[in-house]
Amino acid sequence: MAGSGRGRGLGISALVVGLSGLVLGIGTVGYANSAYGTGTLPSGSMSPTYTAGQRIVWEKTDGSQVRRGDVVVFSAPERYASGGVVMQRVIGVGGDRVACCTRLGSAERVTVNAEPLEEPYVSGGDADGLHRSYDVKVPRGRLFLLGDRRDDVVDSRFFAYDHGGTVPVDAVRGRVTNARPVALVLGTALLLAVVLVFTGVGLGIGFLVVRRRKAPPVPMAPWPVSPMGS
């Protein structure tokens, strides 16, 4: 009876642990697919922040949630023949006035609402790139976007005829995030799921071994035993 009890315990443990690992693994993969997107940057338009061929991860979010300075991926097939997502930086949001350029010392600076914009991320410190002026009042529900390499990127400056070059917030697919923490968290969850599944399998094997093990035979008494009280 004791062996049978231990067998049932192993069986229950195997089921609970194995199913927990399976649920965790499926949940992690499902969450990753629903919350994040991945891709490879095809050009150097965002250098030096991001380089051509670099693998990027973006957090899927509504375009109304992004802020100035965020790097976003968006879809604008009417502007870009590739039809895929494009990655650029948010410079102005609805209601902002974005203009170029104001000279401060030897450098030219983009202004947002008449305030010079600090842009340590631009390639070579060149905030202009095209050396032609623009002055855009960003409509509500739209974004003004620029690449970090201003001398080699097709961004909002090239589409002034279309709402000042801005894009609608609903074109945004996500905000680019640091891939390492995301990979670490999701990878750890998947590793734990694998460990739980294999632990469940091991417990299941132990359960089968216990169930198949025959109880040891009871030895016969060396002489007849009379009932007590006879």
User: Based on the domain organization, do 137 and 67 belong to the same domain?
Assistant: yes
Token code pair at residue 136:
């855009």
Sheet strands (E) in 48-141: 55-59, 71-75, 85-92, 97-104, 107-112, 115-116, 134-137
CB atoms within 10 A of CB 101: 19
pLDDT at 5 over 70: no
Q: Does position 225 have pLDDT exceeding 60, yes or no?
A: no
pLDDT tens string 148-188: 999 999 999 999 999 999 999 999 999 999 888 888 898 99
Alpha carbon distance 169, 183 (integer Å) = 27
Residue 1 pLDDT greater than 70, yes or no: no
pTM value is 0.79
Mean pLDDT along residues 185-193: 91
In a domain, 79, yes or no: yes
Residues 14 and 126 in one domain: no
Which pLDDT tens digit goes with each residue over 21-35? 899 999 989 988 889
Query: Residues 35, 177: contact at Cβ < 8 Å?
Result: no
- Average pLDDT of the chain? 87
Does 221 have pLDDT greater than 60?
no
Predicted pLDDT of residue 224: 59
| Residue ranges making up the domain that contains 204 | 2-33+182-212
> What gap in Å lies between CA 137 and CA 93, rounded to an integer?
9
Q: Is residue 6 within 8 Å of 210, Cβ to Cβ?
A: yes
Range with the poorest average pLDDT among 4-13, 97-106, 130-139, 174-183: 4-13
Q: What pLDDT was estimated at residue 145?
A: 97
**Same domain assignment for residues 94 and 199:** no
Q: Which residue has the tokens 């104001």?
A: 102
Q: Are 195 and 171 part of one and the same domain?
A: no
Residues with Cβ within 8 Å of 45's Cβ and at least 6 positions away in sequence, in order, are 87, 88, 147, 148, 149, 152, 153, 154, 155
Over residues 40-56, the mean pLDDT reads 92
Mean pLDDT to the nearest integer, 121-130: 89
Residues 76 and 24 in one domain: no
Tell me whether residue 223 is in a domain.
no
Across the range 97-107, mean pLDDT stands at 87
Whether residue 85 is found in the same domain as residue 29: no
- Domain count for the chain: 2
Predicted pLDDT at 76: 92
Please give the average per-residue pLDDT across 102-110, as a whole number.
Answer: 84
pLDDT for residue 130: 85
Q: Residue 143 belongs to a domain with what CATH number?
A: 2.10.109.10
**C-alpha to C-alpha distance for 177 and 49, rounded to whole angstroms:** 12
Q: Which residue has the tokens 């417990």?
A: 203
Based on the domain organization, do 92 and 206 belong to the same domain?
no
Same domain, 164 and 64: yes
Which of 4-13, 85-94, 179-188, 210-219 bottoms out in mean pLDDT, i.e. has the lowest?
Answer: 210-219
> Strand, coil or helix: what is 47?
coil
170 and 188 housed in the same domain: no
Q: ω before 227 within 30° of 0 (cis)?
A: no
- Average pLDDT on 141-146 reads 96
